[in-house]
């Protein structure tokens, strides 16, 4: 699920000195990222071309249906790059009326752009028309409510679904933090290059540092700074260790890291 869309509060404990080598991994992975982006472009087709067996959309605005198809193609391309195909139809609803049981938990379009029902793996998104009116501070790293940003959010939620479909662990559901790692890594990996560069620059300006290892991928940090977690997941995924960690998360061989006591 995308984190609360309330203004981001930066913890002073995370304001570490900027390391100029942060993006070395991104530069080294550029060929692979470019190949993935080309695959995404080739598979990004109009909504009506998304086969009914792959995608079921409930939306009043045709634009939302087209965005759903773009998000699906990106999510599928990212998972395919790891060797994990979709296993069932993705169902997504664009609505301002989230199911009542989630509303009672505080999950409303005013607070959450989109989420996945963990029991059914159905996706619920706020319509783009509503999202587009949000102030910049209600979006990832305050970068604004553009259509590209929204497509990336839809891809994020669909990635939760595809990760859940492919989860090979002994438990019924993929641990939340491992699913978030997969969804954020894929969201930024398939984001259009201009917006991704803005995301990385905003990350650099905040002087945050990348994950040092799997011990940093924990729910405590995600809940404290979901924006930082998003970019750090992507940067960690660019490393060989981070990609193997994601495969292990999907296969069920990686265990959830307990949150540290700050």
Residues of the chain above pLDDT 70, percent: 81
At the top level of CATH, the class of 12-251 is mainly alpha
pLDDT in tens, 77-132: 999 999 999 999 999 999 999 999 999 999 999 889 999 999 999 999 999 999 99
pLDDT in tens, 137-192: 999 999 999 999 999 999 999 999 999 999 999 888 999 999 999 999 999 999 99
Q: How confident is the model at residue 137, as a pLDDT? A: 94
Q: Taking the domains of the chain in order of start, what are their residue ranges?
A: 12-251
Residue scoring higher pLDDT (252 or 17): 252
Q: How confident is the model at residue 45, as a pLDDT? A: 38
- Largest pairwise CA distance in the chain: 50
Q: How confident is the model at residue 106, as a pLDDT? A: 94
User: What mean pLDDT value characterizes the chain?
Assistant: 85
pTM for this entry: 0.83
Residue scoring higher pLDDT (31 or 261): 261
């Amino acid at each position: 699920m995308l984190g609360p869309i309330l203004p981001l509060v930066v913890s002073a404990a995370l304001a570490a000195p900027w390391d100029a080598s942060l993006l070395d991994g991104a530069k080294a992975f550029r060929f692979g990222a470019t190949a993935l982006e080309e695959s995404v472009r080739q598979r990004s087709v109009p909504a009506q071309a998304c086969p009914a067996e792959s995608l079921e959309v409930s939306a009043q605005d045709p634009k939302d249906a087209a965005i759903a198809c773009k998000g699906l193609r990106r999510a599928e391309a990212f998972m395919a790059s790891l060797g994990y195909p979709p296993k069932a139809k993705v169902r997504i609803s664009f609505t301002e009326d989230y199911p009542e049981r989630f509303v009672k938990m505080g999950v409303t379009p005013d607070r959450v752009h989109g989420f996945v029902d963990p029991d059914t793996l159905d996706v619920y998104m706020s319509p783009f028309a509503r999202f587009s009116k949000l102030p910049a501070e209600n979006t990832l790293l305050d970068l604004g409510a553009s259509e590209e940003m929204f497509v990336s959010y839809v891809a994020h939620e669909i990635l939760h679904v595809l990760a859940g479909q492919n989860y090979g662990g002994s438990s019924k559901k993929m641990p939340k933090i491992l699913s978030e790692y997969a969804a954020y890594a894929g969201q930024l990996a398939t984001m259009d290059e201009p917006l991704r560069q803005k995301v990385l620059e905003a990350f650099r300006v905040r002087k945050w540092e990348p994950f040092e290892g799997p011990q940093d991928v924990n729910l405590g940090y995600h809940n404290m700074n979901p924006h930082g977690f998003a970019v750090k997941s992507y940067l960690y995924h660019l490393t060989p260790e981070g990609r193997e960690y994601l495969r292990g998360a999907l296969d069920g061989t990686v265990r959830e890291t307990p949150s540290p006591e700050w």
